[in-house]
Amino acid sequence: MSTLVQKLSKRLFWDVDPETIDDVVHCRYIIQRVLERGSIEEIRETVAFYTLERMIAEAQQIRSLDPVTLAFAACLGNVKEESFKCYSSIQ
């Protein structure tokens, strides 16, 4: 199990075996789960682990974020919502 996933709530990864999650290989997956379902403290842990710049860069590549998470991530990174891949795929 990755060191970051050990610090985060098990409820974030309820549908997978946390032992199989790797911080490097699955960083986008971890970041998406934390942005969508994490507490403020879990978001801080993730920012401290990956850096804010990397977290936002990875979030910009995610194909599906709900509108609230998209707005939060854009605000957090001080970037436009239009810079996110999921912005153009909003239905």
pLDDT digits (tens, 9 = 90+) for 10-26: 999 999 998 899 999 99
Residues 6 or more apart whose Cβ sits within 8 Å of residue 11: 37
Residue 15 CA to residue 7 CA, distance in Å, equals 17
How many structural domains comprise the chain? 1
| Position 3 confidence tier, pLDDT thresholds 50, 70, 90 | confident
The CB density around residue 17, as the number of other CB atoms within 10 Å, is 8
Question: Which one-letter amino acid corresponds to residue 5?
Answer: V
Tell me the pTM.
Answer: 0.90
Q: Give the range of the structural domain holding residue 15, as residue numbers without chain letter.
A: 3-88
Nearest Cα neighbor of 33 from 19, 52, 51, 16 is: 16
- In whole angstroms, what separates CA 47 from the centre of its chain? 9
